[in-house]
Chain A
Amino acid sequence: MALLEIRKVSRRFGNLKALDDVSLSIEAGEFFTLLGPSGCGKTTLLRLIAGFDEPDSGEVLLDAQPLAGIPAEKRPVHTVFQSYALFPHMTVAQNVAFPLQMAGKHPEEIGRRLGEVLEMVHLADKAQQFPNELSGGQKQRVALARALINKPRLLLLDEPLAALDAKLREQITSELIALQRDVGITFVFVTHSQQEALAVSHRVAVMNGGRVEQVGAPEQIYGFPRNRFVADFIGTINLLPVEVRVAGGDALRLVANGLGEIVSTPVAEASTGQRGAYAVRPERVRIFSAGDVCELDNHFQGTVNEHLYLGDVTVYKIALDNGAVLEALLANSTSGRTGFLERGAVVGVGWHRSAGVYLRD
């Protein structure tokens, strides 16, 4: 049985369905991420789990116990707020010790746990400081320490890195991963940055308009998006409009208007004549010289439109014969590369049949 079960939960605000029939199950010890655009219901879902709000229908279970009617302070669930919500009239030590004080723990135990936790987040020397004397990153660590000190079953983090600059985000992201591994507490992490989600999570739920679009490991979500929204939202992806020619058998045969046949891996929901899109990531597309023989399943000819040098990689935009523009990534470490492909150069592009996915409309 999963640690946290969200069953068919809906929440409306007036006419707006902030959550629409959401079901999720989160295992103990998982680093689980809710990813989605602004307003898709991430915070609303966290608030239901924390106990600040109740669902209109459906239920939330923790350790198989329904949480309905249990107030926030009785739930073994703690939250790291986006604004940190540190108590401005308390020192770092008082802030962090707050949950233990409220639980009426023995002063000796409070002192010991406080020392451990402050050590863990590298704030031992800031114990007597007040929150307004701390930097953004330090405040973030205090909020984290405070939420962890009483060992909750579940830690909710609502965009905890949003207020930090890029460099610090990266650093705290790795600290967060290490921390979660060390303390073994289940994390439910909210972000609208797909990069962050892919980097930290064991599993990701992609949300849109109050619904969960797809749940899976980062590489599944990224590599095998289930629909157009997920494909589009996560990273960049080439989408070609296609029609299914042959559905059964060991390969899915698609046809792209003016381009020819594309071979893909079979999917259950495809049927002959159906319309949809074929999605393939830029880094899966190979570029080769126009004359070369290519034994990839899918290969076409195109002209270089432009290139974008990004330091580690170069992005090429290649116009195919049917007018569609395909993005392809070329690592700048690729051996034998001497210069950029010129604009107007005729090249071949190709990819393996398992590189892309077919998405029905």
Chain B
Amino acid sequence: MTRGGRLFGLWTAALAVYAFLYLPLAVVVIFSFNDSLLNAEWVGFTTRWYGQLFENTEMLRAAANSLIIALGAATLATVLGSMAGIALQRWQSGFLRALPFLVLAPVAMPEILLGVSLLLFFRQVLDLTLGLVSILVAHITFSIGFVAIIVRVRLAGLDESLFEAARDLGASPWQTFRWVTLPLILPGILAGFLMSFTLSIDDFVITFFVAGVGVTTLPLQIYSMIKVAVSPEVNAVSTLLMALTLTLIALASKLAPDTLRGRA
């Protein structure tokens, strides 16, 4: 094949992949602006579905729940996950060698398994009433591993002698952390926060198991609505959620490029 031909082939393949990934999403976005109740043909442009969305109190309550849970879960998971990431990088000997595995395993665990086991744990072991708290704890559980990985990769990319230099120049362990370690891993920590936030606000499977009856989150709400029909309103809320998610992921990958683009 000629050089031009090969290039053409590559471009076509790339386009096909992107189309495969984003075409379904694009359809949702387009129909959210369609002036028709049916997701069938294009009738005309409108924003009234978005207007309706903001008058739907059930939807708004679900959105508020999702935001509260996402903020809370992301904050706590970031604190705990950062500490875990630092610990994983610092202590890599003896029985602690098993730790990375234990922290990171939930990342790869099938969600349904995590959902079921958390449900059992909350109900049978803790005898907790399912609701905001159980969702929060569940989301923290599956986010910690992501934060830990991102922070650890960031830390591993730094020259060990920076920390020795700080100590050498008179900084106590705490001062070294405060003035050298923390500022240097901060982008990783922020990226971890954004990742956790996105994971939490999008999560369906695990939330479905641990939500109980009283509390609904945005994904649960969307699910209960499409059981009837995929209404334009669902398209609108999905579009908003998608926009938020993409923005946060883009921000996160800017902050921690080494972790979120390929190598991890």
Q: Spell out A's residues near B (CB within 8 Å).
A: 50-52, 71-73, 77-79, 81, 83, 85, 87-89, 98-99, 101-103, 146-147, 150
Q: Spell out B's residues near A (CB within 8 Å).
A: 159, 161-162, 164-172, 175, 179-180, 183-184
- Other than A50-B164, A72-B164, A89-B183, give 15 A-B pairs with Cβ distance below 8 A: A51-B167, A73-B172, A77-B168, A78-B168, A78-B169, A79-B165, A83-B159, A85-B164, A87-B165, A87-B166, A87-B180, A88-B184, A98-B179, A102-B175, A150-B169
- Given A88-B184, A89-B184, A102-B175, do A73 and B167 touch, yes or no (CB 8 Å)? yes
Q: Which of B164, B169, B172 is close to A146, meaning CB atoms less than 8 Å apart?
A: B169
Query: Complex formed: what's the CA distance from A67 to B169 in Å?
Result: 16
Query: Complex formed: what's the CA distance from A356 to B242 in Å?
Result: 83
Contacts of A98 in B (CB 8 A): 166, 169, 171, 179
Would you give 9 A-B contacts (Cβ < 8 Å), ordered by A?
A: A52-B164, A73-B171, A79-B165, A87-B165, A87-B184, A98-B166, A99-B169, A99-B170, A102-B171
Q: Which of A50, A51, A85 is close to B162, meaning CB atoms less than 8 Å apart?
A: A85
Question: Do B161 and A83 touch across chains, with their CB atoms under 8 A apart?
Answer: yes
Smallest CB–CB gap between A40 and chain B, Å? 20
Query: Complex formed: what's the CA distance from A146 to B166 in Å?
Result: 11
Question: Do A87 and B168 touch across chains, with their CB atoms under 8 A apart?
Answer: no
- Given A73-B172, A102-B175, do A85 and B167 touch, yes or no (CB 8 Å)? no
Query: Complex formed: what's the CA distance from A83 to B180 in Å?
Result: 16
Question: Do B180 and A72 touch across chains, with their CB atoms under 8 A apart?
Answer: no
Smallest CB–CB gap between A344 and chain B, Å? 56
Query: Complex formed: what's the CA distance from A271 to B162 in Å?
Result: 54
Question: Do B161 and A85 touch across chains, with their CB atoms under 8 A apart?
Answer: yes
Query: Complex formed: what's the CA distance from A77 to B167 in Å?
Result: 11
Query: Complex formed: what's the CA distance from A103 to B171 in Å?
Result: 8
Contacts of A81 in B (CB 8 A): 161, 164-165
- Given A88-B184, A89-B183, A102-B175, do A147 and B164 touch, yes or no (CB 8 Å)? no
Q: Write the chain B residue with the least CB distance to A94.
A: B179
Question: Do A85 and B183 touch across chains, with their CB atoms under 8 A apart?
Answer: no
> Which 7 A-B pairs have CB atoms at the shortest separation, nearest pair first?
A85-B165, A85-B161, A99-B169, A72-B167, A102-B170, A102-B171, A79-B168
